[in-house]
Amino acid sequence: MYNTLVKNLALFIAALLVSTLIAEVGVRVAGFAPREVRINPFFVPNSQDTWSVPDPDLGWINKEGVSISIEEGGAPMTFWDFGRRATREDVSAPVGKVPVMVIGGSNAQSYGVRDEDSFAYILSERYPGLWFENFGNGGYSTVQSLMLAEKAYADFYTSDKPQLILLAFDDSHALRNVADQSWVYAISDDEGRYVAPPHYRLQNNEFAFQPFRTIGFWPLEKQSALITVLHNVWLQSVAYNTAGDALPVTRHVIDQLYDFASGHGVQFAVVVLEDRSQIADDLFSDKPFPYKNCSGFERSDPGAYLLGGNSHPNAKLHAYFADCIGAWLDSDVLPLLSMPRAARTERE
């Protein structure tokens, strides 16, 4: 009896190994390969091109110092503490000005252009009565922007609190807010492992926060095409198949931002810088805060307004953003702030 069990077990294991070998050959013949470890070019450690450092809660944050863009022009980009992008020559906090907190992703961060060409820097010069701090971070979702806004409000603005929180929104943030597999595949840590940034899931009609996590390699994934395929299927079809929840989750996070600002007596406003999927009006048109859509030029003439014709906004588009945002600030936003009208803009 015992010998029969051992024999059957041995046959089963042999059959399993043969089947696995056949499947491995099959997926390789079909064009699949073992997992190739690739570090996202924006996150390569110890490089002058790397603008970020790891953060246990946010996932990453802008690295203090000067980093060089890897996009057309190789622009130097200055970052200060708390992940701030330079908005003036002197890092010292201005005295007697109305604080404005800018948050968002890489378009808010102004990746790829010089400090003085970014829309926040231009606005800082145009409005001498306002104190702009740009907390835009490359790759951020609205969830990460909310988390950083809460941290900056508590720890950076120790005396003069912001009167305005300005969210620079891009439609790509919707998928980031749920860590959809299409976004997870685009980011990795310094060991080439996929990561899931902090996000929300819609579970049983409840919004459940998911903290930042690293997605480790499966055993033998770097050696086996079959295991790589199985892991990818798991990520795409099960673990991070979350695109369907993107819009309700994004509405929820926007409401959280508004509630956070309102709860502290701060004006909240949203400017849209990119909206290729045309979701902005559906997200914001019925909200109780000022909203402006400044997107469109990146679709109208990419060669003229995007770095390399297909990437981040160039200096020309940032100048347009500054004009679009400035006109809207004058008409819809600044009248809501507690500040003398004469201090709003040097043009008055």
pLDDT tens-digit readout, 320-345: 999 999 999 999 999 999 765 545 44
Mean pLDDT, the chain, rounded, equals 91
Residue-number span of the structural domain to which 8 is assigned: 1-31
Tokens 């970052």 correspond to what residue? 79
Q: How far is it, in rounded angstroms, from Cα 153 to Cα 136?
A: 14
Q: Are 62 and 79 in contact (CB under 8 A)?
A: yes
In a domain, 220, yes or no: no
In a domain, 95, yes or no: yes
In a domain, 225, yes or no: no
In a domain, 200, yes or no: no
Q: How far is it, in rounded angstroms, from Cα 306 to Cα 309?
A: 5
Please determine, for residue 20, whether its predicted confidence score (pLDDT) is greater than 70.
no
pLDDT band at 29 (very low <50, low <70, confident <90, very high): confident
Query: Residue range 133-151: average pLDDT?
Result: 98
DSSP string, 216-239: PPPTTTTT-HHHHHHHHHHIIIII
State whether 46 and 127 are in the same domain. yes
Query: Residue range 74-87: average pLDDT?
Result: 97
Query: Residue range 173-195: average pLDDT?
Result: 94
Tokens 């046959």 correspond to what residue? 11
State whether 46 and 146 are in the same domain. yes
**CATH code for the domain in which residue 108 is found:** 3.40.50.1110
State whether 117 and 15 are in the same domain. no
State whether 140 and 82 are in the same domain. yes
Residues 30-67 as b/e (b if ≥16 CB within 10 A, e otherwise) read eeeebbeeebbebbeeeeeebbbbbbeebbbbbeeeeb
State whether 93 and 164 are in the same domain. yes
pLDDT digits (tens, 9 = 90+) for 189-213: 988 999 999 999 999 999 999 999 9
Tokens, residue 233: 């299927």
State whether 11 and 134 are in the same domain. no
State whether 169 and 274 are in the same domain. yes
Q: How far is it, in rounded angstroms, from Cα 183 to Cα 173?
A: 10
Q: How far is it, in rounded angstroms, from Cα 27 to Cα 57?
A: 38
Q: How far is it, in rounded angstroms, from Cα 227 to Cα 130?
A: 55
Residue 184: DSSP 8-state = H
Helix (H, G, I), strand (E, B), or coil: what is residue 150? helix
State whether 45 and 4 are in the same domain. no
Please determine, for residue 79, whether its predicted confidence score (pLDDT) is greater than 90.
yes
Please determine, for residue 6, whether its predicted confidence score (pLDDT) is greater than 80.
no
Question: What pLDDT is stored for residue 301 in this prediction?
Answer: 87
In a domain, 208, yes or no: no
Q: Are 295 and 306 in contact (CB under 8 A)?
A: no
pLDDT band at 156 (very low <50, low <70, confident <90, very high): very high
Please determine, for residue 176, whether its predicted confidence score (pLDDT) is greater than 70.
yes
Q: Are 98 and 131 in contact (CB under 8 A)?
A: yes
State whether 270 and 326 are in the same domain. yes
pLDDT digits (tens, 9 = 90+) for 278-337: 999 999 989 999 999 999 887 888 999 999 988 999 999 999 999 999 999 999 999 999
Amino acid letter, residue 76: P
Question: What pLDDT is stored for residue 75 in this prediction?
Answer: 98
Please determine, for residue 108, whether its predicted confidence score (pLDDT) is greater than 80.
yes
Distance of CA 47 to the CA centre of its chain: 21
In a domain, 21, yes or no: yes
State whether 332 and 304 are in the same domain. yes
Percent of the chain with pLDDT over 70: 91
The packing angle between helices 2-29 and 225-234, to 10°, is 80
Query: At a CB cut-off of 8 Å and minimum separation 6, what does 55 contact?
Result: 61
Dihedral sign, CA of 294, 84, 333, 117?
negative
Query: Residue range 90-119: average pLDDT?
Result: 96
pLDDT digits (tens, 9 = 90+) for 207-264: 999 999 999 999 999 999 888 989 999 999 999 999 999 999 999 999 999 999 999 9
Percent of the chain with pLDDT over 90: 76
Question: What pLDDT is stored for residue 14 in this prediction?
Answer: 64
Question: What pLDDT is stored for residue 299 in this prediction?
Answer: 80
State whether 98 and 8 are in the same domain. no
How many independent structural domains does the chain possess? Answer: 2
The packing angle between helices 119-126 and 315-328, to 10°, is 50
In a domain, 122, yes or no: yes
In a domain, 171, yes or no: yes
Tokens 């409005």 correspond to what residue? 127
Give the dihedral of Cα atoms 280, 284, 289, 290; nearest 10 deg.
Answer: 30
State whether 274 and 139 are in the same domain. yes
Give the dihedral of Cα atoms 135, 137, 143, 147; nearest 10 deg.
Answer: -40
Question: What pLDDT is stored for residue 345 in this prediction?
Answer: 47
Question: What pLDDT is stored for residue 346 in this prediction?
Answer: 46
The H-assigned helical ranges of the chain are 2-29, 106-109, 119-126, 142-155, 173-176, 181-184, 225-234, 246-263, 280-284, 297-300, 302-305, 315-328
Q: Which residue has the higher pLDDT, 224 or 32?
A: 224
